Amino acid sequence: MIRHIALFRLKDEFNGMNKAEILSRIQHNVNHMREAISSIQYIEVCTHQQDATAVFNADDLCVLADFATQEDYHHYFHHPVHRDAAGFAAEVSSSVHAITYETIDYQAMAHQVKE
């Protein structure tokens, strides 16, 4: 299984949109990707939960996506709907970091054990 995680620190404002509106648009874009890109097994947007005791600067949100194969990830990455969503996210962010890695699909393993 391939997991892709992208972290975004959003600008406070972009073209008249405040941070809450930007977050809403990103969520909309992710929902559209979920419907339009068949190679996505799982995708979600996670927003940072503010913690006054944190000793580090946190990003505002992450997008986490899972794919069955490297080919499925490449299909997603080059898909025009993802390109549009990623372009918007880059424009509204002051920083973007990402990691893509191979991991074990524990849910599939658990399902096989039950059979």
pLDDT for position 52: 65
pLDDT for position 50: 72
- Residues 13-71 have pLDDT tens digits of 999 999 999 999 999 999 999 999 999 999 999 988 776 666 667 788 999 999 999 99
pTM (predicted TM-score)? 0.83
Is 79 a residue whose pLDDT tops 80?
A: yes
- Domains of the chain plus CATH, in order, are 2-114 (3.30.70.100)
- Cβ neighbourhood burial of 48 (10 Å; 0-12, 13-18, 19+): middle
- Cβ neighbourhood burial of 33 (10 Å; 0-12, 13-18, 19+): buried
